[in-house]
């Protein structure tokens, strides 16, 4: 689970971009502990859109049948 929600990331980035506040001011306002994290979010949103700030699912769950097929194939 991510420490910062998707909505918080969007609001923080929009706040920085719209009001031209400093990174430090936005971090204080949204209680973000790392200025580098906010900088990364801003660059990511500018390059790839706000969807790039969404959490990514990294854990896959596979059915027992699929696992057995893989083992048998191997």
Residue 55's pLDDT is what? 86
On whether the CB atoms of residues 28 and 71 are closer than 8 A, the answer is no
Residue 50's pLDDT is what? 92
pLDDT in tens, the chain (74 residues): 578 999 999 999 999 999 878 999 999 999 999 999 999 999 999 999 999 998 887 778 889 999 999 999 98
CA–CA separation, 11 and 18 (whole Å): 10
Residue 19's pLDDT is what? 85
Rg (CA), the chain: 19
Alpha helices per DSSP H over 1-34: 6-19, 23-30
Q: What is the pTM of this model?
A: 0.73
């Amino acid at each position: 689970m991510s420490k910062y929600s998707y909505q918080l990331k969007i609001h923080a980035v929009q706040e920085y971009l719209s009001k031209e506040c400093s990174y430090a001011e936005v971090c204080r306002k949204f209680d973000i502990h790392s200025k580098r994290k906010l900088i990364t979010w801003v660059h990511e949103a500018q390059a790839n859109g706000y969807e790039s700030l969404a959490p990514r699912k990294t854990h896959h769950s596979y059915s027992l049948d699929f696992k057995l097929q893989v083992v048998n194939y191997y």
